[in-house]
Amino acid sequence: MDILGTTLRICVDDLEAAVAFYEDLTGSSALRFERGGVSVAAISCFLLMSGPESELEILRKVTATIAVEDVDAAHASLVRVGAQIIAGPVATPVGRNLIALHPDGSVFEYVDRNPGV
């Protein structure tokens, strides 16, 4: 499986202040969406999330988001090497994702940019 990039996940209390900081830092504009009561802003390699603590508590368990070409291929590779798929694959506003528990206890989100699949 080829890894195309990673995104750092950051839970914030004040999304607007964080968006302003990271947009200024990176020179990029935020792509915003809502998911499960959580407001999300993707800016360059940063994924900012703000919302109810009960939702953020779950999101904090995911170490990073890993971009792959195809979530189905990632799914097959992860299962083959002993990872446990704990959610997905499911559609997102920009593609598909899944959450995997690695044998060492790490939790990662894998995403692709295949919204039509």
pLDDT (mean) for 63-81: 95
Q: What is the distance between the alpha carbons of residues 63 and 59, in angstroms, rounded to a whole number? A: 9
pLDDT at site 116:
57
On whether the 3-112 domain is CATH 3.10.180.10, my answer is yes
Structural element, H or E, at residue 99: strand 96-101
Question: Could you read off the pLDDT of 82-109 as tens digits, one per residue?
Answer: 999 999 899 887 789 999 999 999 999 9
- Edge-to-edge strand ranges of the sheet holding 84-91: 31-35, 38-43, 46-50, 3-11, 64-68, 107-112, 96-101, 84-91
Confidence grade of residue 114 (pLDDT, cut at 50, 70, 90): confident
State mean pLDDT over 13-23: 97
